[in-house]
Chains A and B, each alone.
Chain A
Amino acid sequence: MNALLNTLRGNVRQYGMIIALAAIVILFQISTEGVLLKPLNVSNLVVQNAQILILAIGMVIVIVARHIDLSVGSVAAFVGAAAAIMMTQYDFPWWVAVFLGLLIGTAIGAWHGFWVAYVGIPAFIVTLASMLLFRGLTLVVLKGATVGGLPEQFKAIGNGFLPEIGPDTGLHNLTLLIAVAAVGVLIFLEVRRRNAQMAYNFDVLPFPLFVVKLALLTIVIMYFAYLLADARGLPIVGLILAGLIVVYTFIMNKTVFGRHVYAIGGNVDAATMSGVNTKRVDFLVMMNMGLLSGLAGLVTTARLTAANPKAGVNFELDAIAAAFIGGAAVTGGVGTVVGAIIGGLVMGVLNNGMSLLGVSIDWQQAIKGLVLLLAVAFDVWNKRRTAGSGGAGAEAAEPSAPPPDKLAEEIEAMEAELSVDSNDPPKT
């Protein structure tokens, strides 16, 4: 029992926001008398929040790299408007418009990256300028009017669902199949990771807890899939989002580029002195945010079935809030893609739940503001608390775990490459 408590205590930071999200879901599930988790409502929840979640992925990377992007809402609106004009007035095929839209978004991001990384203007200023610039240009492109009449295939990006296959079971078969596959892959990856960590003698979750964790994950995913399958199936935008989460988590955790983003966010001077090309990393991070802003703009336009001059207003604030609620640090260097998604879901469920309860828009705003503040306050308090344990001299109290046997041989082999002669280690 004590071990369980200790493990939980040590992982509050990691699981805190998941627990908070679960608490909010349960709260609204009760207070809306079960409406929140009705299949159709869950389906709507995904479709309505997709663009914010897409932006939150890019935003958390920008924030980890110690920048900010205030322009994402305006850029999304501009890209959506440009794509709509291409399709309606110039009769571009929908896929050409999508491609060019993403290209425009990337180019705008590269423009930000140029000023931030190579000229050295703070991202706050650069993107504040773009926030005004592209909101204005959106009005120019649309001539102040809403542009509709978009192709069906394009609208499906925002409103469509995966096609049904197989026999009529009353549920959406493909959605359930995808969920089963996802759970399988997830369990495989988790087990593989745990085994690798055990091989290195790292701290891992005790086995019973690990099983509980996997079981919970499976139940949540399958229940979620069941709800979607009971409604209209997996939205296309949900599939896009899932793909982005996987790809960007991989980039941030497994690639050299991801390492460099965390390195410059943690200590830009130390990163420079370690040979990291900090300017290029800054440039790419801002450029990527432009790409995702473009995608969010396309998704929004498709969902609303029209390009609207007021589209995307306050998107930047929701995306930034999602990143911070999800544990990103204002000072940079800390934050995860999954955290930002959870932060975005907290905001989304709050919106949805309060709407269901008939809370007016003005009160919704106010409550969301307080939630943001409380979430970050909790994070700050939690960090201060965990910083207290351990601290200087902690290494003296805890003995070093010896390198595990399996690794010993490889380490011996490695030592031949290391500069210090292993036969004559420094004496104490």
Chain B
Amino acid sequence: MTLRQAQDIASPILEMRGITKEFPGVKALSDVNLVVNRGDIHAICGENGAGKSTLMKVLSGVYPHGTYSGDIVFEGETAKFANIRQSEAAGIVIIHQELALIPELSIAENIFLGNETAKRGIIDWGRANREAIDLLARVGLRENPLTPVKNLGIGKQQLVEIAKALSKEVKLLILDEPTAALNDDDSQHLLALLEGLKEKGITSIMISHKLNEIEQIADEITIIRDGQSIETLSVAAGGVDEDRIIRGMVGRDLENRFPDHTPSIGDVLFEVRDWTVMHPQDSHREVIRQANLSVRAGEIVGIAGMMGAGRTELARSIFGRSYGSRTSGSLVLDGAELQLNTVTQAIDAGIAYVSEDRKGLGLNLIDDIKTSITAAALKKLRTGLVVDEHKEVVVAEGYRKNLNIKAPSITAGVGKLSGGNQQKVVLSKWMYTDPKLLILDEPTRGIDVGAKYEIYGIIQELARSGRGVLVISSELPELLGLCDRIYTLAEGVITHEFDRSEATQESLMRYMTADARK
């Protein structure tokens, strides 16, 4: 063994020490430490929102040096990346969950995009295509480099991304949820490829929710929870199984973060039967398969699932088929079967949907509080053609007082409110439609603790008034604290139904990460 090799084994390729990253009002990362050994496949696990992606953005220079505190030591040198270009030059390449390929361009064009084999600005396409063929061979993809990327399946596109990374002389490859969108065969192929790269000396960091895959491939696992690095487990040392990882991911105490609530639950109010939804662009891909669920009057029902499990897709397909194609199955509300083809019909039938995407789908950010609150139920304010502005003010003031919306006045723009107050405006909007069933998708995402408590109180009040509430959340403590019943969803399949008394974070996590399609 040469001295050089000995050094390689002894020294880690990457050390991140005491990384702290703050956004206005939120501490996303707090004193995170990560050590990645050369030639390893290092997995990072954690719940949604734990800070995994933020950590990788710090590492790859998306958040430039100076916007975080702590040190990054890469290849023995302190790294101060100002942008992605510099981190790539150092040999760190990140492949994001949403692929960054341009569908209309060819494989070769995509591989060398931003890194063109050019002389004085003129691209040498012959050389580019020859090199592309070599790179494709290395990732085991037998395709003509002139093929447009849009003609490839999602699995092959993933391989093109990796080929692109290889073209940049990658030393450390970061994969964010690489198998989330892949089927089993493609996933196995990708994992095999990663092991092949490992043998060629390329270190990988892999973020994944699929614990069985992590167990299969990773050398070490770092667990991140609530913006802190909790522990690093060595798979080689043994004793690491899915249960052990889950315990690390969720291991925190349930604080007393919920208002007191005594549920009074009535008869079945809403039922979803044999609900199957296809992907809107790919009408053969099942996003939701044969889902059955029910909500009783006065009941808060939770849906637990990892990102990409189909939670939002399920909710939106119920809400007037605002997602999906070839939707089949039936919806029953108050004993009557519903035929909902548009959002308007869903609202008229008494269904409300509070989107997870508050700024994209929930609010018109250039509007004021008053207009936002009445936007979904203008019918109720209409006399003839005209909006009754006096009644509108009364309604808006009523909700502002009732839900404690903190703003100088109801004519204040919603774009300037904090997340919690924006969410209260959205809730007001849907409460004013007087729904029988409310579907709340991530109702407390991006909201501080105090406002969360208030939102929980509002949700409980809605249930107490005899409405059915369906809550989708990534935060398991939130579901456990709030819900009377919880369904787990994995890969578009409802995998289990828990009563409040029998659910724990560990048991939920087990069914959320289950291999549902087998």
CA A157 to CA B409, docked complex, whole Å = 47
Least CB distance from B74 to A in Å reads 34
**Does B421 count as interface, using CB distance less than 8 angstroms?**
yes
Which of B376, B382, B408 is in CB contact (< 8 Å) with A398? B408
Closest partner residue, chain A, to B382 (CB atom): A256
Which of B347, B385, B450: most chain A CB closer than 10 A?
Answer: B385
B-contact bits for A182-218, CB 8 A (1 contact / 0 none): 0000000000000010001111000000000000000
CA A424 to CA B343, docked complex, whole Å = 32
> Which of B97-105, B143-151, B356-364 is the contact stretch?
B356-364
Cβ–Cβ contact B363 & A420, under 8 A: no
Least CB distance from B472 to A in Å reads 15
Given A256-B385, A420-B458, A421-B461, CB of A395 within 8 Å of CB of B322: no
CA A427 to CA B402, docked complex, whole Å = 11
Interface residues of B (CB under 8 A from A): 24-25, 259, 319, 322, 342-344, 346-348, 353, 355, 360-367, 371, 375-376, 378-379, 382, 385-387, 389-390, 393-395, 397-404, 406-412, 416-418, 421, 429, 431-432, 434, 450, 453-454, 456-458, 461-462, 464-465, 467
Least CB distance from A419 to B in Å reads 5
For this complex, 13 residue pairs linking A to B, each with C-beta atoms less than 8 Å apart, are: A269-B361, A270-B375, A272-B343, A273-B343, A273-B361, A275-B346, A395-B406, A395-B416, A400-B406, A407-B393, A421-B461, A425-B402, A426-B458
Measured between beta carbons, the chain B residues less than 8 angstroms from A382 are none
CA A419 to CA B387, docked complex, whole Å = 22
Closest partner residue, chain A, to B355 (CB atom): A273
Given A196-B390, A395-B412, A395-B418, CB of A407 within 8 Å of CB of B465: no
Closest partner residue, chain A, to B24 (CB atom): A392
Given A395-B421, A398-B408, A420-B403, CB of A259 within 8 Å of CB of B386: no
Which of A257, A260, A266: most chain B CB closer than 10 A?
Answer: A266
Which of A256, A262, A392 is in CB contact (< 8 Å) with B367? A262
Cβ–Cβ contact B409 & A424, under 8 A: no
Least CB distance from A65 to B in Å reads 13
Measured between beta carbons, the chain A residues less than 8 angstroms from B417 are 395
Given A254-B386, A395-B416, A395-B418, CB of A274 within 8 Å of CB of B375: yes
Which of A260, A267, A400 is in CB contact (< 8 Å) with B408? A400
Measured between beta carbons, the chain A residues less than 8 angstroms from B412 are 395
Interface residues of A (CB under 8 A from B): 196, 200-203, 254-257, 259-260, 262-263, 266-267, 269-277, 333-334, 390-396, 398-401, 403, 407, 410-411, 414-415, 418-422, 424-428
Cβ–Cβ contact B431 & A419, under 8 A: yes
CA A195 to CA B358, docked complex, whole Å = 35
Measured between beta carbons, the chain B residues less than 8 angstroms from A269 are 360-361
Measured between beta carbons, the chain B residues less than 8 angstroms from A274 are 343, 347, 375-376, 429
Cβ–Cβ contact B467 & A419, under 8 A: yes
Cβ–Cβ contact B387 & A256, under 8 A: yes
Given A263-B375, A273-B343, A273-B353, CB of A428 within 8 Å of CB of B429: no
CA A135 to CA B13, docked complex, whole Å = 69
Cβ–Cβ contact A259 & B431, under 8 A: no
Cβ–Cβ contact A203 & B387, under 8 A: no
Cβ–Cβ contact A390 & B378, under 8 A: no
CA A201 to CA B410, docked complex, whole Å = 10
CA A342 to CA B24, docked complex, whole Å = 41
Closest partner residue, chain A, to B419 (CB atom): A392
Least CB distance from B95 to A in Å reads 28
Closest partner residue, chain B, to A409 (CB atom): B394
Closest partner residue, chain B, to A404 (CB atom): B397
With A401-B408, A421-B464, A425-B457 given, can you name 4 additional A-B contacts, CB distance below 8 Å?
A200-B397, A259-B378, A273-B353, A400-B409
Measured between beta carbons, the chain A residues less than 8 angstroms from B431 are 418-420
Which of A255, A271, A333, A393 is in CB contact (< 8 Å) with B385? A255
CA A419 to CA B353, docked complex, whole Å = 16
Measured between beta carbons, the chain A residues less than 8 angstroms from B409 are 201-203, 400-401
Which of B319, B376, B418, B464 is in CB contact (< 8 Å) with A392? B418
Cβ–Cβ contact B407 & A271, under 8 A: no
Given A403-B397, A419-B467, CB of A426 within 8 Å of CB of B363: no
Which of A262, A398, A415, A419: most chain B CB closer than 10 A?
Answer: A419
Cβ–Cβ contact A418 & B24, under 8 A: no
Cβ–Cβ contact B361 & A270, under 8 A: yes
CA A172 to CA B435, docked complex, whole Å = 60
CA A401 to CA B406, docked complex, whole Å = 10
Cβ–Cβ contact B407 & A395, under 8 A: yes
Which of A270, A333, A414: most chain B CB closer than 10 A?
Answer: A270
Which of B364, B401, B406 is in CB contact (< 8 Å) with A403? B401
Cβ–Cβ contact B322 & A272, under 8 A: yes
Given A398-B408, A428-B453, CB of A270 within 8 Å of CB of B363: yes
Cβ–Cβ contact A256 & B378, under 8 A: yes
CA A399 to CA B408, docked complex, whole Å = 6
Least CB distance from A250 to B in Å reads 8
CA A414 to CA B393, docked complex, whole Å = 11
Measured between beta carbons, the chain B residues less than 8 angstroms from A256 are 378-379, 382, 385-387
Measured between beta carbons, the chain B residues less than 8 angstroms from A401 are 408-409
CA A201 to CA B397, docked complex, whole Å = 11
Measured between beta carbons, the chain B residues less than 8 angstroms from A254 are 386-387, 389
Cβ–Cβ contact B398 & A418, under 8 A: yes
Measured between beta carbons, the chain A residues less than 8 angstroms from B402 are 415, 418, 420, 422, 425
Cβ–Cβ contact A425 & B416, under 8 A: no
Least CB distance from B411 to A in Å reads 6
Which of A255, A263, A392, A428 is in CB contact (< 8 Å) with B364? A263
Cβ–Cβ contact B367 & A266, under 8 A: yes
CA A419 to CA B465, docked complex, whole Å = 7
CA A396 to CA B405, docked complex, whole Å = 11
Cβ–Cβ contact B465 & A273, under 8 A: no
Measured between beta carbons, the chain B residues less than 8 angstroms from A276 are 344, 375
CA A264 to CA B19, docked complex, whole Å = 42
CA A428 to CA B25, docked complex, whole Å = 19
Measured between beta carbons, the chain A residues less than 8 angstroms from B393 are 200, 407
Closest partner residue, chain A, to B353 (CB atom): A273
Given A266-B367, A426-B403, CB of A273 within 8 Å of CB of B408: no
Measured between beta carbons, the chain A residues less than 8 angstroms from B411 are 202-203
Least CB distance from A58 to B in Å reads 19
Least CB distance from A351 to B in Å reads 32
Which of B353, B385, B400, B450 is in CB contact (< 8 Å) with A257? B385
CA A267 to CA B365, docked complex, whole Å = 8
Which of A390, A395, A426 is in CB contact (< 8 Å) with B461? A426
Cβ–Cβ contact B461 & A271, under 8 A: no
CA A196 to CA B379, docked complex, whole Å = 22
Least CB distance from A333 to B in Å reads 5
Measured between beta carbons, the chain B residues less than 8 angstroms from A421 are 461, 464-465
Cβ–Cβ contact B461 & A277, under 8 A: no
Closest partner residue, chain A, to B413 (CB atom): A390
Given A255-B387, A411-B398, CB of A277 within 8 Å of CB of B344: yes
CA A274 to CA B378, docked complex, whole Å = 10
Which of A272, A426, A428: most chain B CB closer than 10 A?
Answer: A426
Least CB distance from B369 to A in Å reads 10
Which of B259, B360, B386, B458 is in CB contact (< 8 Å) with A255? B386
Measured between beta carbons, the chain B residues less than 8 angstroms from A403 are 397, 400-401
Measured between beta carbons, the chain A residues less than 8 angstroms from B429 are 274
Least CB distance from B212 to A in Å reads 36
